[in-house]
């Protein structure tokens, strides 16, 4: 019993020593604290246009009479339009076809599950505000399978409130 109390005293001293070292370190660290003043930011950031992203606005679509998406994306540099054996509009961006250049509608991927090819001739342009074509590394924001780029269709916002009887 006497040996057990002696061991308890030793462990108590070790614990007391450890706690006092921690408190001494915390007190020393509090002396070196420097309070910063308030930082006030004035102005707004200037958005820099991304040189690898092309934007086709709705006004350009109407001016150049581009009724289908296939005709509309041909307005952007680096895009080529062709028709395949099924008479579908196929778009190539810098040599990559739609498997490496996916189509997004308001940021949501649109694809055909059985072969991955999207017919760009089936999409109309009357309800689009703009078409954003990201080329190369700019397309990384759209996720995987964007080796050649990405095409994002941005829908028009409604001008009047939706009402019904």
C-alpha span between 141 and 128 (Å, rounded): 21
- Using DSSP, state whether 121 is helix, strand or coil: helix
Give 82-113 pLDDT, tens digit per residue. 888 888 888 888 888 888 888 899 988 887 77
According to DSSP, the residues that pair with 131 across neighbouring strands are 56, 153
Q: Lowest-pLDDT range, 6-15, 98-107, 115-124, 130-139?
A: 6-15
β-strands 128-135, 53-57 pairing? antiparallel
What is the CATH architecture of 53-155? Beta Complex (2.170)
Give 55-66 pLDDT, tens digit per residue. 889 999 889 988
E strand segments, the chain: 53-57, 79-83, 89-93, 103-105, 108-110, 128-135, 149-155
Closest CA to 125 of 80, 77, 59, 81: 59
C-alpha span between 35 and 13 (Å, rounded): 37
- Between these two residues, 22 and 37, which has the higher pLDDT value? 37
Domain locations along the chain: 53-155
According to DSSP, the residues that pair with 155 across neighbouring strands are 128
């Amino acid at each position: 019993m006497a040996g057990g109390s002696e061991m308890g005293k030793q462990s108590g001293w070790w614990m007391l020593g450890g706690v006092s070292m921690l408190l001494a370190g915390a007190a020393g660290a509090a002396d070196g604290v420097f309070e910063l003043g308030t930082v006030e930011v004035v102005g707004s950031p200037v958005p820099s246009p991304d040189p690898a992203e092309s934007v086709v606005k709705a006004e350009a679509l109407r001016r150049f009479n581009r009724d289908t998406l296939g005709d509309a994306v041909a307005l952007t540099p680096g895009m080529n339009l062709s028709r395949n054996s099924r008479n579908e509009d196929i778009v190539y961006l810098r040599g990559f076809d739609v498997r490496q250049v996916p189509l997004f509608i308001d940021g949501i991927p649109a694809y055909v599950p059985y072969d991955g090819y999207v017919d760009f001739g089936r999409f109309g342009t009357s309800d689009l505000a703009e078409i954003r074509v990201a080329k190369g590394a700019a397309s990384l924001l759209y996720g995987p399978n964007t080796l050649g780029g990405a095409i994002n269709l941005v829908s028009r916002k409604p001008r009047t409130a939706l009402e019904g009887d």
